[in-house]
Amino acid sequence: MPIVVNLDVMLAKRKMSLTELSNRVGITLANMSILKSGKAKAIRFSTLEEICEILSCQPGDILEYMDDEAYKKLMG
């Protein structure tokens, strides 16, 4: 699925760890890792809302659409 999750970029920008984010959002670290690594199949609006609120960003800052070729290049 050529939707890339740029959560790690936003976390780096806000200088926040994944553990802290997962604690504040109320999602397990394992699930947050799945989201960060792009293995997740779907994301709830409520989760997206929480993440955007904590990281003070827009959903577009976290999610990005890529075409197939660029996605394959990125994922190796």
Partner 1 sequence: MKLKNLLRNELTWVFVILLLMFLIMEFFLKPELTISSTNCDDSKNNNRIKQAKITDTTETGFSYSDSLPCWKVEILKDSLKQVSDERKRINEGGDVEYQFSFPNFIGTAIVYDKREEKEEFKLFCKNSNEKFQLEKKLKEATNKDTIKAIKNRIDYLTATMCANESVPYKERIKNKSYFISLNPYKFIDSINYPDYYINKRFLVNDNKYYIKYVIFDSVRNKTIYGRFAYKQIGVKYVAKGNNLLIPISLKSYNILNKLIGLAVFLTLFYIIYAFILLPLKCIIKISKGNPFALSNIRSLHLIAFFLMAYPFLVLLPKILIHFLFRKTIPYEFTFNYWECFYSNSTYLISSIIVLFVARAFKRGYDLQKEQELTI
Q: Which is nearer to partner 1, 15 or 44 (CB)?
A: 44
Q: Does 43 interact with partner 1 (rule: CB under 8 A)?
A: yes
- Please count the residues of this chain forming the interface with partner 1, following the rule CB under 8 A: 12
Distance CA 5, CA 74 (A): 12
Note whether 36 and 8 are within 8 A (CB): yes
Q: Binding residue for partner 1 (CB under 8 A) from 16, 18, 40, 57?
A: 40
Q: Which residues bind partner 1 (CB under 8 A)?
A: 27, 31-32, 34-35, 39-44, 47
